Amino acid sequence: MGGDELKSYFEDFLSKESFFKDKSVLNDSFLPDTITHRKDQISNIAKILAPCLRNEKASNIFIYGKTGTGKTLTVKHIGANLKAVSAERKLPLKFVYLNCKLKKVADTEYRLIAQLAREFGKSIPSTGLPTDEIYKIFFDALDAASQTIIIVLDEIDQLLSKTGDGVLYNLTRINSELKNCKVVLVGVSNDLMVTQYLDSRVRSSLSEEEVVFPPYNAIQIQDILRSRSRIAFNENTLQTGVVEKCAAYAAREHGDARRAIDLLRVAAEIAERAGEKQVEISHIDLAEEKIEQDRMLDATKSQPKQFQAILFSILNFNNEKFIFTGEVYEFYKKVCDRCNLRPLTQRRVSDVISELDMLGMITTRVISKGRYGRTREIAIATASSLTAKMKRILEEELELV
DNA sequence: CGAGATTCATGTGAAGTATACCTTTAGGCTTAA
DNA sequence: AAGCCTAAAGGTATACTTCACATGAATCTCGTA
């Protein structure tokens, strides 16, 4: 574009009214003032936690629900209100939210407790201290003042599957250890089955109260989308049927409202960039594709080198219907050779493959081929056009030519 | 022909190792009395 | 002598390796009909 052309493009851009009034409303991190269709859950949790305001010990809570059913949102919402009230009245109440899924932040016992201690202003090194010491620092930090503390552990299932329930056992015992303050634990989980893996003491202590978040149905998602789009968009931005379609797509996948909102936002971005007057239904399909792609490509880029090499090895077999660990490992060794990476052992590669499965980048299951042994059957979870893009990124990242 | 033994390839658990990082401690140097 | 800095010693978590055993259905074996 030449200077004049560019200028007129920008002028043209400005003359068009933007679709968005307030785009942040459609972001994951946005906290609406009111949460649609979650009255029961909110009042339930609020009732359970309310005694905290009087500095009494409230029950621990376990919250279940699939992704995008508003668990995190609800908990944060209640937390914000509790904070507001307690700040106003100068009550000794603290609310801590922690997501256990964040890699390198809270995915092991040590890191979880360290992170919690940091929330209380302690500085904890990333490694080097005994875990007992970390507990001690954390407990001291808690007990420093007479107060009630609500600790929310989001996506707790991730933590449990990786490190077992030892952490939770220790946390549930806090109250008997500490003199001055009371701690309420709120566990949030996507997996309804998790409590089965818990030690019975932990289970009974942690799930003194349980709250279930059922999936939204399509109508409810529509309501959510409408209430958000009223704030997010200017009038007449959405073609009729757009909200319905987004809702339908999301409802198809176990009523994931976050997905519906993402879909709407991305569809609008696509439409705006394409210079359309309105967001049309066709943009939603494009959006769905784009979201999936971005998610996978970002995940691909952000993996550690070894993971990338292994993923690349797997993708290399994308023409074959079934891929087995042995084949992948053989190829992986060659890849390592080509990009100067020290090959990991097959043992470790096996674990990495499981982790990639957990990340949803591939699908695996362990099968027995009878006489021909036992292995993991690996399937690539994405469309072939996308795997091609992923491979290109990996080649770049691994400096393969 | 069918029940039970065998087999293969690799899953999986436990224990050991390398690395990076932490605190403590001892020694050495500087400084002030 | 007291204070401060540095480096070594001793300790830990984490990622990875090593070792060893577990798995489970296709295939083989062998007694029986």
Residue at token pair 């809702």: A247
* d(C-alpha A370, C-alpha A368), whole Å: 5
CA distance A99 to A118: 14
Enumerate the nucleotides of strand C whose atoms come under 7 Å of any protein CB: 11-20, 22-28
**Cα A255 from Cα A45, distance rounded (Å):** 22
**A216-251 pLDDT, tens per residue?**
888 888 888 888 888 877 777 777 777 888 888 888
Spatial distance between the Cα atoms of A223 and A277, rounded to a whole number of angstroms: 24
Q: What is the DSSP letter of A397?
A: H
d(CA A86, CA A65): 28
A282 phi/psi in degrees, rounded to 5: -60, -30
Nucleic strand B near CB of residue A358 (< 7 Å): no
Residue A186 · residue A153 · CB < 8 Å: yes
Amino acid letter for position A364: T
pLDDT at A218: 85
How many Å apart are A184 CA and C10 C1'?
Answer: 38
Take residue A334 and report the two structure tokens written for it: 């060659």
* Bridge partners, residue A150, by sequence: A95, A184
**What burial letters (b/e) apply to A89-100, b meaning 16+ CB within 10 Å?**
eebbbbbbbbbb
pLDDT score at A68: 84
pLDDT of A268 above 70? yes
Q: Give the CA A125 to C1' C5 distance in Å.
A: 22
In the 102-131 segment of chain A, residues within 7 Å (Cβ) of strand B are 125-129
pTM of the model: 0.80
DSSP structure class, residue A40: H
Q: pLDDT digit string (tens) for A73-101?
A: 888 988 888 888 888 888 888 888 988 87
Q: Does the CB of A170 fall within 7 Å of any strand C atom?
A: no
Q: What is the pLDDT of residue A313?
A: 93
Any atom of strand C under 7 A from CB of A277? no
Burial of A339 (0-12, 13-18, 19+ CB in 10 A): middle
- Of A61-65, A136-140, A162-166, A205-209, the one with minimum mean pLDDT is A162-166
Q: How far is the CA of A126 from the C1' of C5 (A)?
A: 25
pLDDT of residue A345: 94
Is residue A369 classed as helix, strand or coil in its secondary structure? coil
Percent of chain A clearing pLDDT 90 (strictly above) = 16
| Cβ neighbours, 10 Å, residue A54 | 10
CA A71 / C1′ B29 distance in Å = 60
How high is the pLDDT of residue A113? 87
Residue A1 — pLDDT band, cuts 50, 70, 90? low
Burial of A185 per CB tally in 10 Å (0-12, 13-18, 19+) = buried
**Dihedrals phi, psi of A279, to nearest 5 degrees:** -80, 120
The distance between the two most distant Cα atoms of chain A, rounded to a whole number of Å, is: 73
Partnered with residue A63 across adjacent β-strands are A188, A211
Neighbouring-strand partners of residue A368: A374
DSSP code, position A342 = P
Confidence check: pLDDT of A178 > 90: no
Q: Is residue A138 a contact partner of residue A118, using CB atoms and an 8 Å limit?
A: no
* pLDDT higher than threshold 90 for residue A353: yes
The rounded radius of gyration (Å) of the Cα atoms in chain A is: 25
Mean predicted lDDT score pLDDT of chain A: 85
Average the pLDDT over A395-400 and give the result: 85
Taking the C-alpha atoms of residue A11 and residue A177, their distance in angstroms, rounded to an integer, is 66
Distance CA A23, CA A38 (A): 23
pLDDT band with cut points at 50, 70 and 90 for residue A401: low
- Cβ of A305 less than 7 A from strand C: no
| Helix (H) or strand (E) run with residue A63 in it | strand A61-65
Distance CA A194, CA A175 (A): 23
